[in-house]
Amino acid sequence: MPEIKVTPLGAGQDVGRSCILVSIAGKNVMLDCGMHMGYNDDRRFPDFSYITQNGRLTDFLDCVIISHFHLDHCGALPYFSEMVGYDGPIYMTHPTKAICPILLEDYRKITVDKKGETNFFTSQMIKDCMKKVVAVHLHQTVQVDEELEIKAYYAGHVLGAAMFQIKVGCESVVYTGDYNMTPDRHLGAAWIDKCRPDLLITESTYATTIRDSKRCRERDFLKKVHETVERGGKVLIPVFALGRAQELCILLETFWERMNLKAPIYFSTGLTEKANHYYKLFITWTNQKIRKTFVQRNMFEFKHIKAFDRAFADNPGPMVVFATPGMLHAGQSLQIFRKWAGNEKNMVIMPGYCVQGTVGHKILSGQRKLEMEGRQILEVKMQVEYMSFSAHADAKGIMQLIRQAEPRNVLLVHGEAKKMEFLKQKIEQEFHVNCYMPANGETTTIFTNPSIPVDISLGLLKRETAIGLLPDAKKPKLMHGTLIMKDNSFRLVSPEQALKELGLAEHQLRFTCRVHIQDPRKEHETVLRVYNHLKGVLKDYSVQHLPDGSITVESILIQATAHSEDQGTKVLLVSWTYQVGILEDIHFNQF
């Protein structure tokens, strides 16, 4: 039976290092190629040796698909394509293709230049890797080869994020990447049509959370920022340069405007300006409202938000700083955090999910004494707030997507095992579909039961649909035909045509049966008697008395002759073709 096999190399019962192998109808596709933020050793990249121990990966993969530019979805790409070796096509959307190399370069700089690691991918490798990328439009059907096609759907989450449908024949898989089912201030909501895939692979970051209204969260956030600034404190908001950063900037910008606030807002790293530029050029990927008004007022041109300089961190007085990266695991956000952590007037707001092992995760789980590099202990006195602004679907959103796409099976990735377990049960209960949650390296096999497309001759189809008193196309009808299987083609034609095409003669198979009856009358009188009897018995059928003395009942022929020896015995010859007909329950022993 045809099957679809799924093996996560990363993001199996885990968040980070997304990398999922899918085998469908003989095609192998790799979904995402991410890094893990919680590790600094070999575990940060997926274990590609699972695919093959030796030889290039190109021979084993038909294509690679990247869902969006976050490093936990694309961070291992240059390593994979240039250091392990893959030359096949890599698909991503245009914004992802534009932004991905910048984040990779940033990642490389932090790892190589700051931490001094060697044996890491180089800038040139990032460039070479990006040359293998094919950009796709939303909803465009990309023919990877003759059989394999992929199609991108809008996923919200971040600029250019997409869900992908992978299809071979009538078997299909949908991979969601990360997605958001509620529109926010700068992005729209994820959308997919009722494509009824055999398997839906969905993220499940917020498998157990049902978030309160976005409005409340925003009000809460603004209130906390405002209060801290009012009492002269500093607010640190660790973010990734692209994504939530723009969302929160728009939020603060409009708030500052409305409240006429004077405290400075800064955005760290040189990426800011550039990042906002991407949003301006790819405005078609943002939400309806921004797209509609961009000619009059571009939402990504901020008046109150200025570029941050390292020296500003020591300035007295209140300020708000957006700093990268978002999980406080390295870079500028961590530096500022160390400076400000000791003062209880200050506040750090974590607007998104933090991977285990990062400083962000530690302070969120209540740890207030942190061991930093060099055995130094950092005491955290500043207020720590967590506010989920991650643009992931919550439990409600995940269920909503499943309802939209109507998959036959669901597979959870990109989440924590315990939470997945809960969601899995809920999905199985509500949708009565199988739900899987493989760990990394574990293969899930799903059996599909595809129907077989064949060509039917139009003549046969029209003849069959026309039969019946009321030619109602919607009513199911019984039809008969002959299937010709030649090479790889299947054609369904009428039996006559099949014979004609193959130059075969049709045999006529007739059954005959003799019935002896005692009847002294003349032959034609016997016939007449039989005829009248049949006519009386078989009111619903066409019974005819032919001029040559025989009787037909539909296609059954009846002839009577006198017995050669005994004129008083008449022999009834009953003859019918080999066919299962309407008269099978008529028995001549009724005489």
Partner 1 sequence: MKLYCLSGHPTLPCNVLKFKSTTIMLDCGLDMTSTLNFLPLPLVQSPRLSKLPGLVLKDGSTFLDKELKECSGHVFVDSVPEFCLPETELLDLSTVDVILISNYHCMMALPYITEYTGFTGTVYATEPTVQIGRLLMEELVNSIERVPKAQSASTWKNKEVQRLLPAPLKDAVEVSMWRKCYTMPEVNAALSKIQLVGYSQKIELFGAVQVTPLSSGYALGSSNWIIQSHYEKVSYVSGSSLLTTHPQPMDQASLKNSDVLILTGLTQIPTANPDGMVGEFCSNLAMTVRNGGNVLVPCYPSGVIYDLLECLYQYIDSAGLSNVPFYFISPVANSSLEFSQIFAEWLCHNKQTKVYLPEPPFPHAELIQTNKLKHYPSIHGDFSNDFKQPCVIFTGHPSLRFGDVVHFMELWGKSSLNTVIFTEPDFSYLDALAPYQPLAMKCVYCPIDTRLNFIQVSKLLKEVQPLHVVCPEQYTQPPPSQSHRTDLMIDCQPPPMSYRRAEVLTLPYKRRYEKIEIMPELADSLVPLEIKPGISLATVSAMLHTKDNKHVLQLPPKPPQPPTSKKRKRVSDDVPECKPLKPLLSGSIPVDQFVQTLEK
Beta strands 63-65 and 90-93, pairing class = parallel
- From the CB of 482, what's the least distance to partner 1, in Å? 6
Contacts of 330 (CB under 8 A, 6+ apart): 110, 114, 115
Question: Residues 463, 468, 471, 475: is their CA dihedral positive or negative?
Answer: negative
Which residue, 470 or 485, is less far from partner 1 as judged by CB?
485
Which residue, 459 or 549, is less far from partner 1 as judged by CB?
459
- From the CB of 478, what's the least distance to partner 1, in Å? 6
Strand partners, 42: none
- From the CB of 428, what's the least distance to partner 1, in Å? 24
- Annotated catalytic residue within 203, 247, 253, 385: 203
DSSP 539: T
Asked if 250 contacts 222 with a C-beta cutoff of 8 angstroms, the reply is no
Tell me how far apart the terminal alpha carbons of the chain are, to the nearest angstrom.
55
Asked if 314 contacts 266 with a C-beta cutoff of 8 angstroms, the reply is no
362 to each of 36, 329, 369, 373, how far by Cα in Å?
Answer: 16, 10, 9, 15
Three-state SS for 206?
strand
Which residue, 316 or 578, is less far from partner 1 as judged by CB?
578
Contacts of 215 (CB under 8 A, 6+ apart): none
- From the CB of 547, what's the least distance to partner 1, in Å? 28
Asked if 235 contacts 221 with a C-beta cutoff of 8 angstroms, the reply is no
- Whether the bond into 183 is cis, omega within 30 of 0: no
- From the CB of 379, what's the least distance to partner 1, in Å? 42
Three-state SS for 319?
strand
339 to each of 227, 315, 342, 346, 561, how far by Cα in Å?
Answer: 20, 11, 7, 10, 118
Asked if 238 contacts 323 with a C-beta cutoff of 8 angstroms, the reply is yes
Which residue, 33 or 283, is less far from partner 1 as judged by CB?
283
Which residue, 53 or 449, is less far from partner 1 as judged by CB?
449
Chain centroid to Cα 285, Å, comes to 19
- From the CB of 584, what's the least distance to partner 1, in Å? 8
3-state secondary structure 561-577: EECCCCCCEEEEEEEEE
- From the CB of 279, what's the least distance to partner 1, in Å? 9
Question: Residues 38, 40, 43, 48: is their CA dihedral positive or negative?
Answer: positive
DSSP 317: S
Number of residues written out for the chain: 591
- From the CB of 473, what's the least distance to partner 1, in Å? 5
Beta strands 63-65 and 489-493, pairing class = unpaired
- From the CB of 82, what's the least distance to partner 1, in Å? 19
Which residue, 131 or 262, is less far from partner 1 as judged by CB?
131
Tokens of 380: 């955290």
Tell me which residues touch partner 1 (CB under 8 A): 94, 97-98, 101, 135, 137-142, 170, 274, 277-278, 280-284, 294-295, 449-459, 461, 464-465, 473-474, 476-487, 491-492, 495, 498-499, 502, 504-509, 577-581, 584-585
Which residue, 166 or 321, is less far from partner 1 as judged by CB?
166
**Would you call 442 a catalytic residue per the annotation?**
no
How crowded is the C-beta side of 59, counted as CA atoms within 13 Å? 5
Which residue, 281 or 439, is less far from partner 1 as judged by CB?
281
Which residue, 309 or 501, is less far from partner 1 as judged by CB?
501
Helix (H) or strand (E) holding 502: helix 495-502
List residues with catalytic annotation: 203
